[in-house]
Amino acid sequence: MAIIKLNNQSISAVSALPASITTGKVLQVVSASTTSAVVTTSTSFVDINLSLNITPSATSSKIFLIYTGNNETNGTTGNRLDLQMLRDATQIADSTGIGNINPANGVVTAASLSKLDEPNTTSLITYKMQGKSVDGTVMVFNHASDLGTITAYEIAG
């Protein structure tokens, strides 16, 4: 690596942030996963066996959430499903903002959903995923024992 000189003083490679920088650090990571399939024709959101608990260390913390999972439709007439992410009982993200997920009949479709949440609390929070069939056809969440995962990263605010 080239050494840069400023006013005849060497600047060494930066290997870490100074300790005085308090924002943006990952404070904790919590993850949950399942291989348990959920089959539904419900047009209302149902739990898809993915939830986790996290207790932020400061009210200024942000929680970055990522969901990934494989889902399938078994219907012959419809092929649309929706996902939503909840903080306790409040929806904080859903797939309708990015478009309905449209797996073809019998085709497994990988889905992901992410959200940067600002819960403003140091109390225990439960985050969970839910899914539904848009048109009442059979939907399979966490298809055929494929791994579905939700991960929460607490970021110092």
| Domain contains 1 | no
Residue 38 included in any domain? yes
Domain encompassing residue 67: 22-155
Residue 14 lies in a domain: no
Q: Would you say residue 9 lies in a domain?
A: no
Average pLDDT on 115-122 reads 97
Q: Percentage of the chain with pLDDT > 70? A: 76
CB-based contacts of 118, cutoff 8 Å, min separation 6? 62, 63, 157
- The percentage of residues in the chain with a pLDDT greater than 90, rounded to a whole number, is 51
Q: Is the pLDDT of residue 39 over 70?
A: yes
In a domain, 89, yes or no: yes
The answer to the question of residue 7 being in a domain is: no
Domains: count for the chain: 1
Instruction: Name the residue with higher pLDDT: 69 or 123.
Output: 123
Average pLDDT score over the chain? 83
Q: What is the pLDDT of residues 59-117, one digit of tens each?
A: 999 999 999 998 877 755 556 788 999 999 999 999 874 445 555 556 677 888 999 99
Strands 108-117 and 26-34: unpaired
CATH number of the domain within which 27 lies: 2.60.120.1340
Beta bridge partners of 114: 66
Q: What is the mean pLDDT of residues 55-62?
A: 97
Assign 134 a pLDDT band (cuts: 50, 70, 90). confident
In a domain, 30, yes or no: yes
| Gap between the Cα atoms of 47 and 132, Å rounded | 9
Burial of 47 (0-12, 13-18, 19+ CB in 10 A): middle
Closest CA to 149 of 70, 63, 39: 70
Residue 141 lies in a domain: yes
Q: Which pLDDT belongs to residue 46?
A: 96
